[in-house]
Amino acid sequence: MNLSFKNIAPFLNTGENRASRWLSYFGLGIGVLLLLCSVQMYININQLLKERNPKKTGFDFISVTKTITDQNMAKDNRFTEQDLAEIKSQPFITDAALLRSNQFKVVASAGQVIPFSTDIFIEAIPDNFIDTVPPNFTWQEGQAEVPVIFSSDLLEMYNVFSSSWDLPQLSEKSAMGIALFLNCDGRNGERQFRSHIVAFSDRINSILVPANFLDAMNKQLEAKENVPASRVYLKTKDANNPELLDFLQQKNYHVNKDKTKFGRIKQILQAIVTGLAGFGVLVILLATVLFSFYLQLMIARSKENLQLLLTLGYSPQWLSKTVAKKWIPVYIAVVIAAVIATAILHWGFQHFAMNDREELSPFIHWSVAAIAVLLLFISVAVNFRLVKKLLYKL
């Protein structure tokens, strides 16, 4: 027989408990709306807080140190090779390198050109972590001249305070033309080298020398090899990755908060959005439970009529599908209404709150529509399974 729901509608007692039925519809709609809005807002957060500055290599490089406290200030807070191996093993870190420093005293001067001398620190790191490495940034044993990569920040600092010392301000080009002299002094002797700046680094705030020069001087002047480093440079695809920030916090590592401020904001906002999504799922579950009570009561009150239909030869499978079809249009209407409401709210957020920022599309993300379709399928499937289970108990 080919019968529709209208043919068996008189056999179902659906006239009562309309309040619970409409409450379940309303709860389902609110839950779906909260879940879809949470997913869309999560996507918006990722798009708004992504790295704003273009990356030359597609990676972020950040400097990490161990946090110094009153309790550990008397200990050795440098990074060892074991620390480095642990850092490299993390899936969200592409690479890491120790930024080794001099263990001997270094005094830099510029001769008669700039009558000024000062104690400085020099450091070394593998070349692939430096943003600008000219071909002449090399040194061999016996070579009297040492190339130096200077931090752009240090040059800017010098220019800010040079006038108070009656010293000339320098451009990058003029600074690279000045001959420098490095006096390296340690327990095992003293060495003097000529030097000049071969490049400026925007990435590493330090005075960099070739790694083999630093290792050789540490060994010759202080008899030290494989010296632990106070800083480690991390190479990662996203310095704002919440997993990276959690790892640094757990290890009590210090990082420049300005470099990762967007990641910390993202963590807070994502936690709020996740909470709203969880609440939306809870509302959907409660609405489903309330609707199941309505179905149980309806089928219980229609028990005799449904048993009559089964006696007349209608199969429980066919009867289940026919009864369950009654609510498919309702589910479709609820989900479509939630999608439309989500699209309107997202457009309002993008247009009014964000002033039509290019990072955000005025349309909802495709994944939001996919989740809506998935929720519709789950609702229909749960409804059919529940009706079928109740009818088979008759």
Q: State the chain's mean pLDDT as an integer.
A: 82
Count CB-CB contacts under 10 A for residue 278: 13
Could you write out the DSSP letters of every residue in 24-46?
HHHHHHHHHHHHHHHHHHHHHHH
CB 29 within 8 A of CB 278: no
Distance in angstroms (rounded) separating the CA atoms of residues 115 and 130: 30
Of these ranges, 83-87, 222-226, 251-255, 276-280, the one predicted with the greatest mean pLDDT is 83-87
Sign of CA dihedral 325, 327, 329, 334: negative
CB 40 within 8 A of CB 340: no
Sign of CA dihedral 49, 54, 59, 65: negative
Distance in angstroms (rounded) separating the CA atoms of residues 18 and 5: 19
If you average pLDDT over residues 237-241, what whole number do you get? 79
Select from 273, 47, 237, 253 the least CA-distant residue to 245. 253
Going from N- to C-terminal start, the domains of the chain cover: 5-50+264-392, 60-237
Distance in angstroms (rounded) separating the CA atoms of residues 378 and 373: 9
Fill in the DSSP letter of residue 79.
B
CA angle 35, 36, 42 (to 5 degrees): 90
Span 194-211, pLDDT tens digits = 999 999 998 888 999 999
If you average pLDDT over residues 129-140, what whole number do you get? 91
213 — pLDDT class (breaks 50, 70, 90): very high
Span 216-228, pLDDT tens digits = 999 999 988 888 8
If you average pLDDT over residues 289-293, what whole number do you get? 79
- Phi/psi-derived region of residue 24, left when phi > 0, alpha when psi is between -120 and 50, beta in every other case: alpha
Task: Report CA-CA distances (Å) from 377 to 248, 331, 387.
Answer: 42, 9, 15
Percent of the chain with pLDDT over 90: 27
Higher-confidence residue: 256 or 68? 68
Place of tokens 């009559």: 308
If you average pLDDT over residues 310-335, what whole number do you get? 77
pTM: 0.58
Q: Any residues with CB less than 8 A from the CB of 191 and at least 6 apart, and which?
A: 183, 184, 217, 220, 221
Q: Please enumerate, as own/partner, the contacts of 218-223 that have beta carbons within 8 Å and a separation of 24 or more.
A: 218/102, 218/103, 218/104, 220/186, 220/188, 220/189, 220/191, 221/103, 221/104, 221/184, 221/185, 221/186, 221/187, 221/188, 221/189, 221/190, 221/191, 222/103, 222/104, 222/186, 222/187, 222/188, 223/187, 223/188
Span 347-385, pLDDT tens digits = 888 877 777 777 778 888 899 999 999 988 988 888 888
Kind and range of the H or E element at 249? Answer: helix 242-250
Span 330-346, pLDDT tens digits = 888 988 999 999 999 98
> What integer pLDDT is reported at residue 8 of this predicted model?
57
Count CB-CB contacts under 10 A for residue 3: 12
- DSSP, collapsed to helix, strand or coil, labels residue 206 as coil
